[in-house]
Amino acid sequence: MSTSIPKRSLTRWGFAALAALAAVALWAGGSAGAQESTTFRITIENRTNPEMIVTPGAYLLSMDQGAFWSGGTQASLALERIAEIGDSTEAVSSLGAVALDAAPAFGDSITFEVTAAPGYYLSTAQMLIATNDAFIGLNSEPLFENGSPRSVTIDLMAYDAGTEENADLFAGFAGGQPDPAEGAANVDNGTATVATILPSDQFTGTQGRVTIEPISAPATAPTDMPAPAAAGNAGFASTTGGSALIVAALVLLSAGLVFGARRMTARS
């Protein structure tokens, strides 16, 4: 004799299943917009002409373009100190930049690694040591293109920070500052000149070369790394984990429905 399961019992189980699936779907929806990070190897090569040392300088990761420096604008105190005396302390303290730890001579290079998610830009600045206030650097170079990590080589030109009058290259060279009187005055009062950052007229052609290469497959980004505003997601999560959880939830719900149906049948 066959016994049917009361419709109210099935309805109760159905609502429970739908509620559980809705909760899982909401969780998965939050994970679907997750941003993934990639580790990049950055190599900066000294290709100066005439040959000279390049100071360590600093780099900055930011979601804002021009956060470190930008051509056609007045130099910040952070950039001024790098461009005039090779000091990255202000860039570290005021901008959150990271100081580099080597001063490559001509033909040498410095290499470091950064981990970033889509939406981040890389900027660098290093003083050309035999100048008053010239430097080489990246200005807000995107590390991703259409969400994919970039692998790119970029030639660097020399820029004039516009914070000090220029003497001839190597003129009065003493301790890395050709004109210590003028440079010290500007650094001490924290005031840049009215000039803006422009290509240096004391150099021609490539003075440095940056190579950006991803060295790790995209992985879940650290939770303390802010997501780009356009992503609409306050943090990062793994979409792979979300898919696995959905499958597991469906299996458990199916087993529960079968078990419940059997119990109803047995009671009838």
What are 69-125's pLDDT values in tens digits? 999 999 998 999 999 889 999 999 999 999 999 999 999 999 999 999 999 999 999
Q: Are residues 243 and 148 in the same domain?
A: no
pLDDT for residue 263: 55
**CATH (domain of 133):** 2.60.40.2130
Same domain, 102 and 22: no
Query: 47 and 174: one domain?
Result: yes
Same domain, 155 and 256: no
Bridge partners of 38?
Answer: 116
Whether residue 85 sits in one domain with residue 18: no
Residue 226: inside a domain, yes or no?
no
Cβ-proximal residues to 59 (8 Å cutoff; 6+ apart), any chain: 42, 97, 98, 100, 112, 114, 122, 123, 124, 138
Would you say residue 214 lies in a domain? yes
Residue 171 domain-assigned (yes or no): yes
Cβ contact 119:143 at 8 Å: no
133 and 260 housed in the same domain: no
The position carrying tokens 């420096």 is 69
Task: Answer yes or no: do 26 and 53 share one domain.
Answer: no
Strand partners, 123: 60
If asked whether residues 181 and 241 sit together in one domain, one would say no
Contact yes or no for 223/235 (Cβ under 8 A): yes
- Determine the residue type at 204: T
Instruction: DSSP for the chain, please give it.
Output: ---PPPHHHHHHHHHHHHHHHHHHHHHHHHHHT--EEEEEEEEEEE--SS---B---EEEEESSTTSS--TTSPPPHHHHHHHHH---HHIIIII--EE------TT-EEEEEEEE-TT-EEEEEEEBTTSSSEEE---SEESEETTEE--EEEEE--EE-SSSPPPPTTTT--TT-SSHHHHHHHHHHT---S---EE-TT--S--EEEEEEE-S--EEPPTTSPPPGGG--SS---HHHHHHHHHHHHHHHHHHHHHHHHHHHHH-
Other beta carbons less than 10 A from residue 167's beta carbon: 16
* pLDDT at residue 50 greater than cutoff 90: yes
CB 118 within 8 A of CB 48: no
- Residue 222 pLDDT > 80, yes or no? no
Tens-digit pLDDT profile for residues 190-210 = 445 668 999 999 999 999 999
Q: Is residue 1 part of a domain?
A: no
Task: Mark whether 133 and 244 lie in a shared domain.
Answer: no
Q: Is residue 232 part of a domain?
A: no
On whether residue 17 sits in a domain, the answer given is yes
- Domain of residue 177, residue span: 36-220
Sole residue written with tokens 């924290």: 190
Q: How far is CA 70 from the centre of its chain?
A: 17
49-58, 130-139, 165-174, 250-259: lowest mean pLDDT where?
250-259
pLDDT at residue 161 above 70?
A: yes
pTM more than 0.85: no
Q: Which amino acid is at 107?
A: G
Cα dihedral value 115, 82, 125, 50, nearest 10: -140
> For residue 202, is it within any domain?
yes
69 and 192 co-located in one domain: yes
- Give the least confident one: 10-19, 206-215, 234-243: 234-243
Distances (CA, A) of 75 to 140, 182, 220: 15, 16, 36
Indicate whether 30 and 153 sit together in one domain.
no
- Split into its structural domains, the chain has a count of 2
For residue 230, is it within any domain? no
Query: Do 134 and 16 fall within a single domain?
Result: no
